[in-house]
Amino acid sequence: MTQSKMTFLLERLQTLQNLANWPNANVPVTALVTEYIPELCKVPYDYLFRDDAKAMAECTLLVQEYLKLDILTANMDVYNFEAEAMGAKIKFFPDHCPDFDRSDYFIKDAADLDKIRFGGLDQGRFPYLIEYCKAYKHYTGVDTFPIFSAPWTLAGNLYGIENLIMATIEDPEFVHEFLRRIVDDYHVPMFRALNEAIPGFAEMDFVDAFASVPMVNVQIVEKFIRPYLQRELDKLNMPGMRLMDTAFFGTAMLEGDERKRFEDFIIWSNGRFLCIDPDAASLGADYARAVATERMTALQIGISATYLEFEPIDNITALVRDYVLQAKAGPTPAIFFFNNISPNTAEEKIQAAVWAAKVYGAPGADDKTPYQMPEFLSFEEFLKYKLKNNPEEYTFEWLKKSAYSYLL
């Protein structure tokens, strides 16, 4: 792997490594992107999410380079992978993300818990995930790891989140057994198998949307959610393996001791304090910075996808500026985050917002630092450039399935 093939990603990784020099470091700009990748690349969702892992790797990297993001998290349809491999029915669509068949839940009662058993990496789309990781490594020289659904949220999708929450009251032993089966009988053998199949595998990455307030309360977090994340670590027993569990909202709905306990859970499970809209908008970026400073942990802050999609550019860049300046005004590193960019968001809005985060996230930048809109480059123009300047050696086979096929 030559260095020239890693040029764009090397620069992004350097930004992350420089956080060790905080406060003399730039604020990294990160984003969660799911639907935006197939929309921007104009390819059918089912083709990209199910049929061609190499195409997904290429499109993900192209979108990251185009948007100038330091980290791009491409979740794909992360909540479905384990369930699909167990035998749950997943529906695929050409124009939006795959999803569970919620008319017929995979787990209906305790007798169905025997279905929760890892059957090997040839099941479901595990081969797709492994191919994606290998293609990403081939194109960049950098390891990447699949993201999965955390035990609580996976249980909610298999059984129905309303049913699961009611069961915590009516049949808590069933919920404990349900979560224990997910950890012991599925996740632990799954992660051990992935560790052998994917070189450099070093992180348990989970998303946990159902662990948000008000879907759950702090008591559910402490009794049913955190213990089984800890059980993942204990049972896996792989020194050096990190836990990363994200997608929590609702801090602003809590007060006093309950808010502090939820903050502690977020920090424990993320390794930093995650506070993004709507919580950041309600409580203020100064609140988020104060929590990170008090706990001496990094802060990840960000604006909402709806704000980015619907507000004018001047409002967007002003809010990004304010969040970044307040977030970096502390002794611990700050990271800026765009949460799941909407597929209908204008390209120029994202470019303007990312550039604002970079301008005001630079060491020494303040509210008097001038901001000048970047020159807008359409994704089509970017693709034309990459077809002629392709050090990564992308195949661009996916363009044949794309509305950009005329570029070939």
Is the Cβ–Cβ distance between 263 and 291 less than 8 Å?
A: yes
pLDDT value at residue 308: 97
Under 8 Å between Cβ of 285 and 27: no
User: Which residues does 307 contact at the CB level (< 8 Å), separation at least 6?
Assistant: 277, 315, 316, 319
Tokens at residue 90, please? 């997943």
Distance of CA 110 to the CA centre of its chain: 31
In this structure, of 6-10, 289-293, 347-351, the range with the lowest mean pLDDT score is 6-10
CA dihedral 209, 214, 215, 219 (to 10 degrees): 100
4 pLDDT higher than 70: no
- Tell me the whole-structure pTM to 2 decimals: 0.94
Integer Cα distance of 165 and 167 in angstroms:
5
As a whole number of angstroms, the distance between CA 81 and CA 88 comes to 10
> pLDDT of 230-251, one tens digit each?
999 999 988 878 888 886 889 9
Confidence grade of residue 3 (pLDDT, cut at 50, 70, 90): very low
What b/e string do you get for 264-277 counting C-beta neighbours within 10 Å, with b at 16 or more?
bbbbebbebbbbbb
Q: What percent of the chain has pLDDT over 90?
A: 83
Tell me the three state secondary structure of residue 185. helix
352 within 8 A of 316, measured Cβ to Cβ: yes
Q: Which range (134-143, 162-171, 215-224) has the least confidence?
A: 134-143
pLDDT at 9 over 70: yes
pLDDT of 318 above 70: yes
pLDDT of residue 313 exceeding 70, the answer is: yes
pLDDT at 158 over 90: yes
> What mean pLDDT, rounded, does the chain reach?
94
Q: How confident is the model at residue 142 (pLDDT cuts 50, 70, 90)?
A: confident
What pLDDT, on a 0 to 100 scale, did the predictor assign at position 202? 80
3-class secondary-structure state, position 218:
helix
Confidence (pLDDT) at 64: 95
| pLDDT tens string 355-390 | 999 999 999 999 999 999 999 999 999 999 999 999
pLDDT for res 201: 80
In which band, very low, low, confident or very high, does the pLDDT at 127 lie, cut at 50, 70 and 90? very high
DSSP three-state, residue 300: strand
Widest distance between CA atoms in the chain: 64
Q: What pLDDT was estimated at residue 121?
A: 97
Residue 1 confidence class, pLDDT cut points 50, 70, 90: very low
Q: What is the pLDDT of residue 7?
A: 64
Q: According to DSSP H, which parts of 206-255 are helical?
A: 218-220, 226-236
pLDDT digits (tens, 9 = 90+) for 92-102: 999 999 998 88
- CB neighbour burial string for 282-310, b if at least 16 within 10 angstroms, e if fewer: ebbbebbbbbbeebebbbbbbbbbebbbe
Lookup result for tokens 């604020």: 27
Amino acid 5: pLDDT? 53
